[in-house]
Amino acid sequence: MGTRRLRSPRQAVERRLGTEESWRPTGCAGWAVRDLVFHCAGDAQRALAALRTPAAGPPDRGAVTYWRERAPRCRSPLRDMC
């Protein structure tokens, strides 16, 4: 059984799409495909690190109270979606 080398998000995108296609725009203004993939991969890495890090004590917030305290303050014309 061979070993598989892990690739960076950039390498994975270029291998799958090619360099030119990876620079195509996405639905996020100003973000290319490679930007969005790198951003999502970074979030996934941070989540894995956070889930693996033991807490110092018992939780002080629940799944609902966490989000209530962080409600978006949206001034967008699309505020109904916030």
Q: Where are the domains of the chain?
A: 1-50
In degrees and rounded to multiples of 5, residue 25 shows phi and psi of: -70, 160
Give pLDDT, residue 5. Answer: 62
Give the pair of three-digit tokens for residue 38: 């790198």
Lowest mean pLDDT among 41-45, 55-59, 66-70: 66-70
Residue 80 has pLDDT above 60, yes or no: no
pTM exceeding the 0.85 threshold for the entire prediction: no
**Whole-number Å distance between alpha carbons of 4 and 76:** 45
DSSP labels for 6-69? ---HHHHHHHHH-HHHHTSB-SSTT-BHHHHHHHHHHHHHHHHHHHHSPPSSS-SS-HHHHHHT
**Whole-number Å distance between alpha carbons of 14 and 24:** 12
